[in-house]
Amino acid sequence: MGAACAMPNWLVAKKLENEDITQWKITDSHWGTIRAKVENGRVVDVKPFGLDKYPTEMIKGIKGLIYSESRIRYPMVRLDWLKNREKSDRTSRGDNRFVRVTWDEALDLFYGELERIQKNYGPWALHTGNVGWCSMGQFHSCGNHMICAISMHGHSVTTAGDYSTTHYSVIIANN
């Protein structure tokens, strides 16, 4: 966590009131609080937050992640699914063309599918649990975002714990 979490918000605000925030923006990342220099809407530099006594070297890679060629910048939908929805040809997955949609369209499509599935099959048809190895340095947590979005819609089936951390509950329960 960044240093900002270690002190009251009013204290951080007081410390920052004399800083030039016209070019540098303060934000949080998985690797702590950072300062990002933004010019013409583009991050051009990233530095550790001044009050963080132990900043990680990993923040040096944030700018590269933002502008990586492998990053998906816009919502994309499989064309056959967009045309035919649940009646689409599922055998073509993997070689089907994807088309760009707006963020509003993507959210409407997502919500529409949640509605359809819960109406036709009930809340137990939505599984929001994810299991697997977790990286403490992950940039984001897609699984948690999915769980949050579906939970705002209604109920779903989920999991508790995972195979990486179950031993903690066993050890603690036996002590």
Local mean pLDDT, 10-residue blocks, the chain (175 residues): 46 54 75 86 88 88 85 88 88 83 93 90 77 53 69 69 64 61
- What pLDDT score was predicted for residue 127? 74
In this structure, what DSSP letter does residue 95 have?
A: S
Q: Is the dihedral of CA 19, 22, 23, 27 positive or negative?
A: positive
Instruction: Map tokens 């099959």 to a residue.
Output: 121
In a domain, 153, yes or no: yes
| Domain extent at residue 20 | 3-66
In a domain, 110, yes or no: no
In a domain, 132, yes or no: yes
- What pLDDT score was predicted for residue 7? 46
- What pLDDT score was predicted for residue 42? 84
- What pLDDT score was predicted for residue 28? 78
SS3 94: coil
Tokens of 68: 């990586």
In a domain, 142, yes or no: yes
SS3 105: helix
* Domains contained in the chain, number: 2
In a domain, 82, yes or no: no
- At 35, give phi and psi (nearest 5°): -115, 130
In a domain, 89, yes or no: no
- What pLDDT score was predicted for residue 67? 85
Task: Please give the radius of gyration of the chain, using alpha carbons only, rounded to the nearest integer.
Answer: 21
In a domain, 94, yes or no: no
